[in-house]
Homo-oligomer: A and B are copies of this chain.
Amino acid sequence: MTDRKALIDKLKQGNAPALARAITLLEEGELDIPSVDQYIGATGKAVRIGVTGPPGAGKSSLIDWLIKHIRNSGEMAGVLATDPSSPFTGGAILGDRIRMQHHFLDDKVFIRSLGSRGAQGGISRITRDAAHLMQAAGYRFIILETVGVGQTELDIMNIADTVLVVLVPESGDFIQAMKAGLMEIADIFVVNKSDREGSKQLVNALKLLAETSQPGHDAWEIPIMLTNGLDGSGTSELFQTIQKHIEFMESHKETALFLRKRLHGLKQLIVEQLSVRINSAVNAEVPEHYKKELSDPSISLYSIFNRIMHDRDFTAQILK
């Protein structure tokens, strides 16, 4: 464990290669945050900005502008981009990388695309844990980018403190499909490419959506920001609005929304950690003790499950 401690120490000094190495270990399932939590200790503050929306909404050029504003404010910026779950569409990430490559010369900007190779719990766990490491490394703003709208993307957006849903006039289908989910995660709507035809209608539709249902957002009214990723217009105002949302959340730390986000994260963490233990407990106990039941297809898994839950040898391994 001493090499883990040395790695964490280096990372906490803001060493980017150490951070990169630690994230790789996360991806490979070789690093588990709760087990090194004592080395990490207090991390200082960080803001996780979730950026989601359909492909083609211009998320990456918007992120490009956000990085500039973050750097101008004197803070370090991190980006975690998640590969879409489909292996067919890996190309988009490459595009993002090229667009963002002028930041590569800035050592206060850390950009990383994530995959979930060997690790348990999948990409949302890795994103959360990588963001925690970046926070420990001194990044004050951490941007989490996802594409699309599956459960994984919603899980990642639930990690974020502030979620931007980026839309363009062509995003009608996306909004239709995501109505409830969008409203649950969105803190700020961004209408990008706002010079295009149809922007006004989109703004009106979003206003209606924001007015009719605001589950759990307390007194925060979802603002609708107009931006243009090409010339950066509106992005400075967007950055200010993000900061306003952060202040709002900080002054509402005991409200339902804040606690809900934290509770959600805690549940995910417990399920993940217990899943790992269940996995090893099943491997260690079940094949030998339940071989007869397992090899008889007429005995359903449901009844084996009911029996196992009363097996003290088994349950003790889960709640050790």
Contact = CB atoms under 8 A, between A and B. Distances in A.
Copies of the chain in the assembly: 2
Interface in A277-311: 278-279, 282-283, 286-287, 291, 294-298, 300-306, 308-309
Interface residues of A, number: 61
A212 to B, nearest CB: 20
A174 B86 CA distance: 10
Contacts of A40: 300
A259 B278 contact: no
A138 to B, nearest CB: 15
A35 B267 CA distance: 23
Interface string A78-105: 0000000111100000000000000000
Contacts of A298: 42-43, 45
B151 A295 contact: no
Interface stretch (A1-9, A194-202, A268-276): A268-276
Given A87-B178, A253-B297, A315-B319, A306 B37 contact: yes
A87 B295 contact: no
Interface of A is mostly: helix
Interface in A143-190: 148-151, 173-174, 177-178
Contact of A287 (B263, B295, B302, B308): B263
A80 to B, nearest CB: 17
Contacts of A149: 86-87
A262 interface: yes
Interface of A: 33-34, 37, 40, 42-43, 45, 85-88, 122, 132, 148-151, 173-174, 177-178, 250, 253-254, 258-259, 262-263, 265-267, 269-271, 273-275, 278-279, 282-283, 286-287, 291, 294-298, 300-306, 308-309, 315, 318-319
22 contacts: A40-B300, A42-B298, A45-B297, A86-B148, A86-B149, A87-B177, A87-B178, A88-B174, A122-B151, A132-B300, A132-B302, A253-B297, A259-B287, A262-B295, A263-B287, A266-B305, A266-B308, A269-B302, A271-B271, A274-B274, A315-B319, A318-B319
Q: Across chains A and B, which 8 residue pairs bring their CB atoms closest together, nearest first?
A: A87-B177, A37-B302, A85-B150, A254-B295, A253-B295, A262-B294, A315-B319, A34-B302
